[in-house]
Copies of this chain bind each other. A is one copy, B any other.
Amino acid sequence: MKYLITGHSGFVGKYLIRHILRMEPDAEIAGLDLVPAGQKPAQLQEFQIDLLETEKLNRIVAAFAPDYIVHLASFSSVAYSWRRPLESFRNNTNIFLNLLEAIHKNALPCRLLSIGSSEEYGAVSAAELPLTENLKPRPLSPYAVARVAQENMSWVYSKGFGLDIVCTRSFNHIGCGQDDRFVVSSLARRFAEFKAGKCPEIIVGDTGIVRDFLDVRDVVRAYYLLLKSAAGSGEIFNICSGRQTSIQDIIEIFKEITATAPPLTVDPDLLRPVENRIVTGSNRKLYELTGWQPEIKLEDSLRDIAQWWEKHLSYQ
């Protein structure tokens, strides 16, 4: 089977390629990204492209004729979207439209997995937890607005042009190799630095915040199952663990794993008012369709991440 992955050089892309090749060693993969991936399996053909380049994208998609497309490419920073809303919008919604048009124009009979975000839900009340897919999004950042537009556009292309599109609302990912602007990766790095004597304390924000963290390996397994599933076009699936984990919980586990107890200092600047103190999703819909369940325990994810940072720091 032929897989086209946008944003394949990113954190999730690398894991997705690994998973596809584990399931189908003779799969053909086209990876489209601004930059090449570090490691390159033989089955991966890479294309350096800005997905805003309509014609170039069209040519690549037509020539490769994928059976499956996973659209991972995204400017996924909420903070960035506040600083550069137009750019964030263009690099989310407009690139997605380019991709839809490439599929539509070439009448490709492929399934597209459109990756969305739990950010789409916006402000939620305690009574709405765990979040289910039938909740209507109330986006609260330019990034979230772009993601909702992507989901709405998926529905329109699915109903209006008959494209086969499955949408996700993906919650917080964690895993080795994730950028340390994400909280778990950042904490793991600080713990590794503290253990190596490189920092005297760990600075934190509001550790009472509760989120739904899922190991990236479980994420890509869910994506693969959705590609192969009987999901109807236009359907939306939460990708989440269903667990409620506070930042404090994560810190306690890291203490145990690393056998250290760094002093924690609260930085008032990091205590930003957040819209939602608790976010957690229901993965029931995905489970009922595909049987998918998270397989990796939080402790195991965090141990891998802690070790990754210890090893990674020693290379620096």
Contacts and interface: CB of A to CB of B under 8 A. Distances in A.
Nearest to A161: B82
Contacts of A141: 156, 160
Nearest to A142: B156
A160 B146 CA distance: 15
Interface string A127-151: 0000000001001111011101100
A83 to B, nearest CB: 11
Contacts of A54: 86
A141 B157 CA distance: 8
Interface string A86-103: 100110011001101100
Each complex incorporates copies of this chain amounting to 2
Nearest to A123: B159
Contacts of A160: 82, 140-141
A93 B101 contact: no
A259 to B, nearest CB: 42
A144 to B, nearest CB: 8
Interface of A is mostly: helix
A36 interface: no
Contacts of A148: 148-149, 152
Most chain B Cβ neighbours within 10 Å, of A86, A152, A155 = A152
B140 A145 contact: no
A153 interface: yes
Contacts of A89: 93-94, 97
A90 B94 contact: yes
A94 B100 CA distance: 18
A85 interface: yes
A156 B139 contact: yes
A144 B160 CA distance: 13
Nearest to A100: B85
Interface in A152-185: 152-153, 155-156, 159-160
Contacts of A140: 155-156, 159-160
8 contacts: A89-B97, A139-B155, A140-B156, A141-B156, A145-B149, A145-B152, A145-B156, A146-B149
Interface of A: 54, 82, 85-86, 89-90, 93-94, 97-98, 100-101, 136, 139-142, 144-146, 148-149, 152-153, 155-156, 159-160
